């Protein structure tokens, strides 16, 4: 079997904060499972939102030449995608959301059976709302969602505090183990059975 690849997106403005701590805990498991990993720091970038210009439908890339287009190739090549964000007002970081809106919309390649996992970090509350928000990118794209022993969350405010959340760290490790198993199983299934057949898409507008 070829070496599987995991792309990990750090949506925190802090490159080495608690969100990175969660990703690094997962990264160690992926390395143990002989997977290739890359952590991409997005949360400190100047990324604007989608302007619904449809340029990407004509050219296959976003009209704005920034990290979104640079990430598209990595996204296409990966077998698993981890989205991690701090929680602001029960939502993910707005920079990350702008990045993901444009990344998912502008990339026309088939994302089916790439395994997705979202990770959220907060001082206290708002975790489940942000967790649900990130998972929607996977479920609209035919991507199986990896789970853990609890919702994929970890607590901490100041950098380094997440290291004190023993259950949260364990949740990250279990998540990475489960995600590794899913990616390996899907890779084997692709070789033996191929991908599921798709019906032609039948979009419907509610306003006629």
C-alpha distances (whole Å) from 106 to each of 44, 51, 181, 201 are: 21, 12, 29, 18
C-alpha distances (whole Å) from 116 to each of 4, 65, 140, 208 are: 14, 25, 11, 35
HEC readout, 162-184: HHHCHHHHHHHHHHHHHHHHHHH
The pTM (predicted TM-score) of the whole model is 0.96
Q: pLDDT at position 207, please?
A: 83
For the stretch 178-195, pLDDT in tens is 999 999 999 999 999 998
Residue 134: pLDDT above 90? yes
Residue 86 φ/ψ, nearest 5 degrees: -70, 165
Distance, CA of 38 to CA of 137 (rounded, Å): 20
Q: Could you tell me the pLDDT band of residue 115, with boundaries at 50, 70 and 90?
A: very high
Nearest to 81, CA basis, from 136, 6, 153, 138: 6
Q: pLDDT at position 1, please?
A: 72
Torsion of CA 176, 130, 21, 14, to 10 degrees: 140
For the stretch 75-108, pLDDT in tens is 999 999 999 999 999 999 999 999 999 999 999 9
Higher pLDDT pick, 61 / 2: 61
Strands 5-10 and 36-41: parallel
């Amino acid at each position: 079997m070829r070496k599987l690849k995991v792309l990990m997106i750090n949506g925190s403005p802090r490159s080495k904060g608690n969100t990175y701590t969660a990703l690094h805990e997962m990264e160690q498991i992926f390395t143990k499972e002989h997977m290739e990993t890359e952590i991409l720091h997005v949360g400190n970038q100047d990324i604007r939102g989608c302007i619904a210009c449809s340029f990407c439908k004509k050219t296959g890339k976003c009209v704005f030449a920034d990290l979104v287009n640079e990430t598209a190739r990595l996204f296409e090549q990966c077998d698993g995608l981890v989205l991690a964000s701090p929680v602001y007002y029960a939502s993910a970081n707005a920079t990350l959301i702008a990045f993901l809106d444009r990344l998912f919309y502008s990339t026309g390649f088939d994302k089916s059976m790439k395994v997705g996992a979202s990770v959220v970090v907060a001082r206290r509350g708002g975790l489940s709302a942000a967790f649900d928000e990130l998972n929607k990118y996977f479920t609209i794209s035919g991507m199986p969602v990896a789970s853990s022993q609890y919702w994929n969350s970890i607590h901490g405010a100041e950098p380094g505090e997440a290291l004190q959340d023993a259950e949260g760290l364990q949740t990250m490790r279990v998540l990475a183990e489960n995600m590794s198993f899913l990616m390996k199983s899907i890779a084997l299934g692709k070789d033996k059975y191929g991908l599921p057949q798709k019906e032609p898409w039948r979009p419907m507008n509610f306003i006629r």
